[in-house]
Amino acid sequence: MKYKVIYKSIDDGKVLIRTFKGTITVDDIISSWKHILEQILILEKHKGVITDYRESDELSTIKFEDTKDIKKYIEENFEVFKNLKLAVVIDSPKIVVPILFMDDFPQLNMEIFSTMRAAKHWIK
Q: What's the pLDDT score for residue 96?
A: 72
Taking alpha carbons only, the member of 76, 1, 62 closest to residue 34 is: 76
Mean pLDDT taken over the chain: 90
Domain residue spans of the chain: 3-123
CATH label, 3-123, candidates 2.60.120.10, 3.40.50.12780, 3.30.750.24, 3.30.565.60: 3.30.750.24
pLDDT in tens, 29-71: 999 999 999 999 999 899 999 999 999 876 667 777 888 999 9
Predicted pLDDT of residue 1:
58
Quote the pTM value. 0.90
| Phi-psi category of residue 25: left, alpha or beta, with phi > 0 → left and psi -120 to 50 → alpha | beta
Cβ neighbours of 3 (radius 10 Å): 18
Find, among 109, 30, 111, the residue nearest to 70 by Cα: 30
Say how far apart CA 19 and CA 36 lie, in whole Å.
Answer: 13
The rounded distance, in Å, linking the Cα atoms of 22 and 2 is: 6
